[in-house]
């Protein structure tokens, strides 16, 4: 959520930001509502001052018998009734204004490129060389089904399309990847491991920006104000909501493994086969809370931590800087990591690392007190996939496939697989 003072003071600049993001909204609506809000507040304050003056005169009535007390009382009552009406009107205006503010996207970093869509995302760097196969590489679903480690039909039978059953060594490798990622982030990168609830209240999703704008993409419990989390970013970032932290305690690093639940409305027809785009998937998430002065350095470190997962697994990837037409709602700047998939002969997204600046902190009331004793200010929040477990499983299966249909276990995962070095059909 942005400060309305910033939008009103930089109206043309923010209007251009909305245009660059392909977000259609007339900022004149905010101007009108803000003027109406100020007018109501002014009228209310004037009436309260007159009411106080009338009450003072009534108090003087004993010393001045010429004061018409009954008439003053009637005037004060009328003013009180009008103040109540204005308070109701103010609440309605502020509610409408807040709704619009909650649905407006973040401003963009000066280093976020302007572009139309994913085709305009510049590549920042590339790591590793795609493997050259002596045979035609197969897609992960063909390999996994032949090995009996995934069952897509049972996933549909138990739930619906875009749910999958992992079994045997498929489930084991998924668990191995989770443990490997958590160990890497906690032991090497210094994150605090957290196991948060997998369901959260509406206010928590509002804090990170999923509500109200993306409600249709989420799963809500029918009888409670609880939603299944779309990512661990939501509970992790909210751990310090409505708090004032001390600057000396920053930055804070959190990591968590959770299942994630998303409808991903509007994406039907894209990657619906296999594990690429599921309604339920596993992810290890990283979240940082820091000062504005350090947030962009922290973004580089966050991205490097996600890259370390792919480097350690020896999976080729590149990093792209998301352009204005492709960047997420709450992000000011985002790097996407895209891993090489042999069956598609292209790089595909496996992690997004974003700096939200103070956008989320304003929504959740997350501030810190500067070490110089100044007034509390809003913190900056960052989040990144560290990384998407299911998509990593896809990348391992495809990049480590063998001509006989087996899968070589990456060296980094062998200790997590009890020494197993190859998955073969049984």
The DSSP secondary structure of 380-398, one letter per residue, reads: EEEEEEEEEHHHHHHHHHH
| 418, burial (CB in 10 Å: exposed 0-12, middle 13-18, buried 19+) | exposed
- List active site positions: 262, 277, 349, 352, 391
User: CB neighbours of 210 closer than 8 A, spacing ≥ 6?
Assistant: 217, 218, 230, 234
Coil, strand or helix at 239: helix
User: CB neighbours of 245 closer than 8 A, spacing ≥ 6?
Assistant: 252, 289, 366, 367, 368, 369, 379
User: How many helices (H) and strands (E) in the chain?
Assistant: 12, 18
Buried b (16+ CB within 10 A) or exposed e, 250-267: bbbbbbbbbebbbeeeee
User: CB neighbours of 316 closer than 8 A, spacing ≥ 6?
Assistant: 126, 127, 128, 129, 130, 131, 339, 340, 399
User: CB neighbours of 159 closer than 8 A, spacing ≥ 6?
Assistant: 279, 280
CA distances to 154, 230, 243, 397 from 174, rounded to whole Å, are 18, 19, 36, 11
Question: How many other β-carbons are positioned within 10 Å of the β-carbon of residue 48?
Answer: 14
């Amino acid at each position: 959520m942005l400060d309305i003072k910033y939008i009103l003071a930089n109206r043309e600049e923010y209007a251009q930001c909305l245009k660059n993001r392909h977000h259609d909204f007339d900022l004149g609506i905010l101007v009108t509502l803000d003027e109406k809000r100020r007018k109501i507040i002014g009228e209310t304050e004037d009436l309260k001052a007159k009411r106080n003056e009338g009450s003072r005169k009534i108090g003087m009535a004993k010393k001045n018998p010429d004061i018409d007390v009954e008439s003053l009382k009637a005037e004060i009552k009328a003013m009180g009734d009008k103040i109540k009406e204005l308070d109701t009107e103010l609440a309605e205006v502020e509610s409408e204004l807040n709704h619009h503010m909650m649905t407006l996207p973040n401003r963009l970093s000066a280093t976020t490129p302007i572009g139309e869509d994913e085709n305009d995302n510049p590549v920042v760097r590339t790591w590793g060389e795609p493997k050259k196969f002596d045979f035609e590489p197969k897609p992960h679903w063909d390999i996994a089904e032949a090995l009996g480690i995934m069952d897509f039909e049972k996933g549909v039978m138990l739930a619906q399309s875009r749910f999958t059953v992992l079994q045997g060594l498929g489930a084991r490798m998924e668990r191995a990847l989770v443990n490997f990622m958590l160990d890497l982030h906690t032991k090497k990168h210094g994150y605090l491991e957290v196991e948060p609830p997998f369901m959260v209240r509406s206010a928590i999703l509002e804090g990170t920006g999923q509500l109200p704008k993306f409600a249709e993409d989420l799963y809500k419990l029918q009888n409670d104000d609880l939603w299944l989390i779309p990512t661990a970013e939501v509970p992790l970032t909210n751990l310090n909501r409505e708090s004032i932290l001390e600057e000396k305690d920053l930055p804070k690093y959190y990591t968590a493994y959770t299942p994630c639940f998303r409808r991903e409305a509007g994406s039907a027809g894209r990657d619906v086969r296999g594990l690429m785009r599921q309604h339920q998937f596993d992810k290890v998430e990283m979240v940082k809370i820091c000062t504005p002065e350090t947030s962009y350095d922290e973004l580089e470190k966050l991205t490097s931590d996600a890259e370390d997962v792919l480097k350690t697994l020896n999976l080729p990837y590149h990093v792209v800087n998301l352009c204005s037409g492709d960047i997420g709602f709450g992000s000011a700047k985002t790097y996407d990591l895209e891993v090489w998939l042999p069956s598609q002969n292209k790089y595909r997204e496996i992690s997004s690392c974003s700096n939200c600046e103070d956008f989320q902190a304003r929504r959740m009331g997350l501030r810190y007190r500067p070490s110089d004793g100044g007034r509390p200010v809003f913190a900056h929040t960052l989040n990144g996939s560290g990384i998407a477990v299911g998509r990593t499983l896809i990348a391992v299966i495809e990049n480590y496939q063998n001509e006989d249909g087996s899968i070589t276990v990456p060296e980094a995962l062998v200790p997590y697989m009890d020494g197993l070095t190859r998955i073969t059909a049984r």
